[in-house]
Amino acid sequence: MKKIILGITGGIAAYKSCEVIRLLKKSNFDVHVIMTENSKKFITPLTLEVLSNNKVQTNQWNLHSDIYDGISHINYSKNASCILVAPASANFIAKLANGIADDLLSSTCLARKIPLILAPSMNTHMWENPATKRNINQVKDDGINIIGPNTGFQACGDSGIGRMIEPAEISDYIKNSFFKKNNLPLNKLNILITAGPTYEAIDPVRGITNLSSGKMGFSIAEEAFRNGANVDIICGHSLQDCSSTINRINVTSAKEMFERVLTHCKTKKIDIFFSVAAIADWRPKQIKKIKLKKEKDTLDNIKWIENPDILSSVANLPKSLRPFTVAFAAETNNLTNFLPQLGEKMLKKKANLLVANKVPESFGACDTRIMIFEKKNKFKIFNGSKNLLAKEIISKSIEIMKNEKWK
């Protein structure tokens, strides 16, 4: 049974830690909890002891010596597989970024030789504060894993990024990251992914875009990285975060994404291309230099042109440059109603595999429903978290690559 240390810091999301413990226990993990003093104002040690079946540690000067001997903050993590801090407050992240160890949890994190995962939780303004951003970048550079946060309504009444990701997402991440064999043969493969929405400017203040959050693309990126791939992700405006070892390239427009993707394919041998981004089909022929006035014929005077087709352009590269290509299709109706159209799209785009997802309900959601569509109209429908679906998508891609003896 794998041992996990769960650190809980002060914040309203501390109540979610109960569900995190339940899910990890259900997956046969041995959960040992360390609480900060502030966390005890939101949830009691007794509750967590009952759920984890282990004594909850709260004081480095009074560690339960019947279980752990010697110097507490050094020995406590020696036989653990990882440390998970959920929720991780802005204050605790600041401590880690600056090497401050003034309680049992921060000392244990500083003295560890095992992976450390943080699930941030804080008010959206705290998350957006430059000091927090500096601290997040620092802990990433130090090799600490960050998962989340999500966007949504917060207990304080604000709405925005800062919500701790859901317990099911945390549990999936832990299982997939550290305790499942990396059975996807991605070692040393170069993976390129597009993610998120593009934005097509009309004038200096207006433009067209969509509600894509980029979650699926980033889930595929993390799954590929965890299985040994070299990952580049080219994304439009997205609040999603990723491991510091994933090469993230931010773009705005479809044209800019097109240029970046083609440059990557031509200069870096790409093995698999996941075209996940929700790319605008059209853009204004000319971006106005001043804000358009609200007049009767304003919209009629905008000339639209079609954006370059990134997927087709990649699939039509010379054989020496062409990667295995996975297309994504967003549909608003029942997925099975579009089987003929999906087959036609896959053929037209010269994609090796196509993933269809139901929108708009999947935009920004943690869970979704997808159809993985193969040649000869073979398909299978999957439901679940985007983290788990990313594994299914990559598994099917590798399977087809092997069957087609793709090189």
pLDDT of residue 179: 52
Q: Supply the pTM of this predicted model.
A: 0.62
Exposure of 387 in the CB half-sphere (CA atoms within 13 A) = 19
Query: Quick one: which of 216, 204, 169, 219 has its CA closest to 287?
Result: 204
Q: Where do we find the tokens 């990251």? A: 177
Q: Supply the residues annotated as catalytic.
A: 156
pLDDT of residue 161: 82
Exposure of 2 in the CB half-sphere (CA atoms within 13 A) = 17
pLDDT of residue 406: 62
Domains of the chain: 3-179 (3.40.50.1950), 190-403 (3.40.50.10300)
User: ∠274-228-367 over CA atoms, to 5°?
Assistant: 50
Query: What is the Cα–Cα distance from 317 to 336, expressed in whole angstroms?
Result: 31
Beta bridge partners of 327: 275, 354
pLDDT of residue 66: 45
What is the pLDDT tens value at each position of the chain, 407 positions in all?
Answer: 788 999 999 988 999 999 999 999 988 889 999 999 999 999 999 999 999 999 898 877 665 544 445 445 566 666 788 899 999 999 999 999 999 988 899 998 888 888 899 999 998 888 989 999 999 888 887 888 888 887 777 776 777 788 888 898 888 888 766 554 445 567 778 999 999 999 999 989 888 998 888 989 998 998 888 777 889 999 999 888 776 678 899 999 999 999 999 999 998 889 999 999 999 989 998 888 888 887 766 777 788 899 999 999 999 999 889 999 999 987 777 766 667 777 788 888 899 999 988 777 778 777 788 889 888 778 888 888 888 888 899 989 988 888 776 65
Pairing of strands 145-146, 116-120: parallel
- Omega within 30 of 0 (cis) for the link into 197: no
